[in-house]
Structure 1
Amino acid sequence: MECRRAYALEHGIQKFEHATTTNPFAGRVICGCCGKIYGRKVWNSTDEQLRRLIWRCNGKYPAKGEKGCASKHIDDGVLYQAFVNVFNAMIENKDYFIGKWQEGLENDNLLHRYKSRQFIEIMTRTEVMIVFVN
């Protein structure tokens, strides 16, 4: 809980959102410009044909009419596809990553050892993902 609290303070998160199967990136996409969290937004939600799901930095508009962060939005499908591409690259180079996480098993930090063990397990039993995102 302390790690989550520190993470939230570092990235200016007031309410820590937990990932779900429908929204696995909630609270996890961090802006490279200002360090705030990206949030999922719906554009043109009244017209179903124009409706788009996007992710935008929550620091983009700090107050109504006031422009903040200069980062660009990310289309929902692009974010998912980017994750799949990076995950597949990790699977294709699993020996390298498993070696790095095995080093993490020697760490004094209990959470670091736990996460290293989790990643090793995932990498040893996972194959390349084929996902087509619209």
Structure 2
Amino acid sequence: MLSNEKYKGDALLQKTYTVDFLTKKRAVNNGEVPMYYVEESHPAIIDKEMHTAVQLEMERRRAFAEKYNISKLDYATVDNPFAGRVICGHCGSAFGRKVWNSTDERLRRVVWRCNKKYEVKGKKSCENKHIDDKVLYHVFVNTFNAMVENKEYFMEKWKEGLKSENVLVRYRARQFIEILKDAEIVEEFDVDMYFRWVEKMTVFDGKKIIVSLLDGTEIEVVVE
């Protein structure tokens, strides 16, 4: 649906064609007959710039998933927002969520560990350390607050992004400016805000995390 040109007011004609005029049977057109692209054939539901930005975002997600060998980013949920978004700073693999001592609630601990840590059973393949789930929540809160405290710097950065020829870059810049201009210091993790800002969190030895925003901005956080 998101890639359908009809939403921006255009139409691609003859996506299917009649193969049997007696039975009216139709088939997908894979080049058997010409297709015709008609611009502004009907009122648009969304503007063309937004439609283009969506296509670029879909390609960004596809490339991200392919780079880090993630089947899809949709695994991230409100209860598990970091799925597919925590990356190993040593080997570049994704981190996976592990629950330790899950049978005893008092000792239960949720951690994230490189998926290649023990790629071969009994043999350590990556030396990166695990990181507690709760640390990741705190890291985003600290990152967001750092942007609020340095609002002027970031606002100027994104104002420059408004001049970009890349539609998605302009869209992100407008979105970030709109969110940050009235933002205040927060104390708790906001999952919606996290999804609107963060592309990935790269972990180094459990002591340093680089938070990469969706516009490519990187913010380093030291874990104490």
> Which segments of 5 or more consecutive residues in structure 2 lack a partner in the other structure?
1-57, 190-224
1:44-97 residue CA offsets vs partner (Å, 9 max, x unmatched): 111111110111112212233332211111111111112111211111001100
Aligned position for 2:115? 58
**Greater share of helix residues, 1 or 2?**
1
2-side partners of 1:72 and 1:110: how far apart? Answer: 38
- TM-score normalized with structure 2 length: 0.55
Contact 1:13 1:36 in 2 (8 A): no
The worse-fitting range, judged by mean Cα deviation, of 59-68 and 38-47 is 59-68
Aligned position for 1:120? 177
Report the CA distance between 1:101 and its aligned residue.
0.9
Aligned-pair identity in percent equals 62
| Amino acid of the structure 2 residue aligned with 1:26 | A
Alignment of 1:49-88 (within 5 A): 49-88=106-145
- TM-score normalized with structure 1 length: 0.88
**SS of residue paired to 2:80:** coil
| Amino acid of the structure 1 residue aligned with 2:78 | T
Alignment of 1:27-42 (within 5 A): 27-42=84-99
1:73-129 residue CA offsets vs partner (Å, 9 max, x unmatched): 111111111211121111100110011111111112211111111111111122101
Alignment of 1:91-110 (within 5 A): 91-110=148-167
Give the CA RMSD over aligned residues.
Answer: 1.7
Report the CA distance between 1:18 and its aligned residue.
4.4
**SS of residue paired to 2:97:** strand
Does residue 77 of structure 2 align to residue 23 of structure 1? no
**Greater share of strand residues, 1 or 2?**
2
Asked which structure has the greater CA Rg, the reply is 2
> Which segments of 5 or more consecutive residues in structure 1 lack a partner in the other structure?
none
